[in-house]
Amino acid sequence: MEELGRINQLIVPFFGHDMTFNIGVIVMTWAIFGFLLLFGYLASKSRRIIPGTVQVVGELFINQLYGLTEDAMDEELGKKYGPLICALFMFLLASNWCGMLPFMEEPTKDLNTPLSMGLMGFAIAHYAGIRAKGFKGYIKEYFEPIFFMMPLNLIGELAKVVSISFRLFGNIMGGSIIILVVSHLVYSILLPPFLNAFFTIFVGAIQAFVFTMLTIVYIAVQVK
């Protein structure tokens, strides 16, 4: 039980400020980057009409996620944002699932990861909005329906980042705490595989999908 909430931190003094690095999270994130790069390489190494196993999995991801993006935006924008959405979903899925392996931890369990993903989506959505409507049209949106709604619209936009990142964080953190506590209570007999199947595989996949879906919708709402 002692490992509950413990984080390995590296604190580096930097001109009078302490810079804190969560070592475990950084290592895990890079491990997942490596895994995804390897996966991409293997999937596209020898492309054939009759695909191999890895190529099929890769094509499955690409087809489904491009389809989703194109449904929500349009053909042209879907092609533009498709790669981003694919990468986001595959990263989140690998992050949520990697906690099952021994000595691995979910990077999404640390609020920093979901928050940075949420901020990324926020920045991209608003950039896309400015590109699509022009700066004036973008600003005007905030004064709809009446001008004094501006502060609330602004808070509403910021609350989107909070909600999208805390949703992922809360679910993954909650799942891993439940697995830890229940495994501890039953002395790791019988229950942990089922808990992992539900909280890691099932909830992890759903939350990765929901996060991706919301990012698509946030971009789509801005460009329309």
Partner 1 sequence: MTDDIQVWMKVAAFVGGGMAMGFGAIGAAIGEGYTASKANEAIARNPQLSGDLFKTMLVGQAIAETASIFALIIAMLLLFSNFSHTSPLLIATFLAAGLCMGLGAIGSGIGSGLPTAEACIGIERQPQMKNRITTIMLAGSAIAQSPAIFALVTSLILLFIDFTGKPVSPTWAAILGAGLASGLGAIGSGIGEGLVAKSGCEGIARQPAGATRTTNVMLLGMAVTETTAIYGLLIACILIFKNFPAAESIAASMALLGAGLCMGIGAIGPGIGEGFAGQSAVKWIARNEEGTATLTRSMLVGQAVAESTGIYALVISLILIFVA
Contact residues toward partner 1 (CB under 8 A) are 1, 4-5, 68, 71, 152, 155-156, 159, 162-163, 166-167, 170-171, 173-175, 177-178, 181-182, 185, 198, 202-203, 206, 209-210, 213-214, 217, 221, 224
* Smallest distance, partner 1 to C-beta of residue 44, A: 26
Q: Would you say 43 or 113 has its CB closer to partner 1? A: 113
* Residue with tokens 């709402």, as numbered in its chain: 221
Q: Would you say 21 or 202 has its CB closer to partner 1? A: 202
Question: Whose CA is closest to 107, among 88, 120, 94?
Answer: 94
* Smallest distance, partner 1 to C-beta of residue 59, A: 18
* Smallest distance, partner 1 to C-beta of residue 149, A: 9
* Smallest distance, partner 1 to C-beta of residue 49, A: 26
* Smallest distance, partner 1 to C-beta of residue 47, A: 27
Q: Would you say 34 or 67 has its CB closer to partner 1? A: 67
Burial (CB < 10 A; 0-12, 13-18, 19+), residue 209, is middle
Q: In whole angstroms, what is the distance from residue 12 CA to residue 18 CA?
A: 6
Q: In whole angstroms, what is the distance from residue 154 CA to residue 28 CA?
A: 34
Q: In whole angstroms, what is the distance from residue 100 CA to residue 32 CA?
A: 14
Q: Would you say 100 or 203 has its CB closer to partner 1? A: 203
Phi and psi, residue 22, nearest 5°: -90, 95
* Residue with tokens 């906690």, as numbered in its chain: 99
Q: Would you say 56 or 149 has its CB closer to partner 1? A: 149
Question: Whose CA is closest to 216, among 125, 95, 127, 116?
Answer: 125
